[in-house]
Structure 1
Amino acid sequence: MTQPTATHRFRSQHSEIATIVQRIEAILASPNWAPRAQEIRQGFSELSAKLRIHLALEDDVLYPRLARHNDGKVRDMATRYQTEMGGIRDAYEAYLSTWVHSGKLVTDTAGFSAATQGLFAALKDRIHRENTEVYTLVDSVGW
């Protein structure tokens, strides 16, 4: 049996987050999705639970640990990623307040769809970059 990589847990969380995002996107792809607003809210509830735990682990454990790594390349990357992506948690919470919790998702469906596409694009970009850059480097050099 092979040993899991150092980033296995983070990659698994990314996969779970991506699955929830895909489920919400599938609902939004239908021409008249507004009657399914409760399903969307439920999806965001699940996404929020997963995302908050994941971001807390990255922001409070992973990146600070990498910022103290022996390898300068790892330290620089950790600092760069924390700076570039540190605001995603606040942006996500602001999005939820504006669109999901306010009920505006059904009163401005076009605005909600556009905002959601932007949010999901940023989230997918972060997941892709972490999977291909951060986690790959961590797996090759270790913690």
Structure 2
Amino acid sequence: MNLDKYRREHADIIGHVQQLKALCTQGIAEEAASIAREVIAMSSVIKLHLSVEDRYLYPAMQQASPALAAKARHYQEEMQDISAQYAHFSRQWNDAQRIAEQPELFRADANRVLKLLFDRIGRENRDFYPMVEAA
């Protein structure tokens, strides 16, 4: 299975995370409008990526070896929690005024949720995708 599209989407998501970090460094309240736009843009990429994984990648892995099928189920189940946390984050922080009014709360939420996302992408790229390609 060719996973280039998934890896490109991961790189795109990481790019959004890095852009959010750069904006936060410039000042959360001062860059609130840009931060809100970045959250919205990243959410679009994440929603599409998760949809494609759920629709194509994970079901295809159920036809693979039992070990790979189990790993795919684990990743899919784990992603449900991360996805729910990200969805809450994106709904809460897609508004510039709210970000500007609560910059430290935004920072705390962003650090927590984006670290979950970043770590998960790293594990997929490092552990799961190589297993899929080897199958």
Question: Normalized against structure 2, the TM-score is what?
Answer: 0.92
Letter in 2 for 1:52: K
Query: What SS is found at the alignment partner of 1:51?
Result: helix
Q: Max radius of gyration: which structure?
A: 1
Identity %: 27
Letter in 2 for 1:133: D
CA distance in 2, matches of 1:44, 1:115: 12
| Aligned with 2:49 (options 45, 54, 62) | 54
The answer to whether the Cα contact below 8 Å between 2:20 and 2:38 also exists between their aligned partners in 1 is yes
Query: What SS is found at the alignment partner of 2:31?
Result: helix
Q: Which runs of 5+ in 2 are unaligned?
A: none
CA distance in 2, matches of 1:24, 1:93: 16
- Post-superposition Cα deviations, 1:73-105, rounded to whole Å, max 9, x if no partner, equal 111101111122222222222112223248421
Q: 1:61 to 1:122 in 2, by over 3 A?
A: same
CA RMSD of aligned residues (A): 1.6
Q: Which runs of 5+ in 1 are unaligned?
A: none
Query: What SS is found at the alignment partner of 1:6?
Result: coil
- What is the aligned length? 135
Corresponding residue of 1:65? 60
User: When you count helix as a share of all residues, which structure comes out higher?
Assistant: 2
CA distance in 2, matches of 1:95, 1:102: 13
| Aligned with 1:74 (options 63, 68, 71) | 68
Corresponding residue of 1:95? 89
Of 59-68 and 74-83, the range deviating more from structure 2:
59-68
Matches of residues 1-143 of structure 1 in structure 2 within 5 Å?
6-30=2-26, 32-69=27-64, 71-101=65-95, 103-141=97-135
Q: 1:102 to 1:59 in 2, by over 3 A?
A: farther
Question: Normalized against structure 1, the TM-score is what?
Answer: 0.87
Q: 1:75 to 1:103 in 2, by over 3 A?
A: same
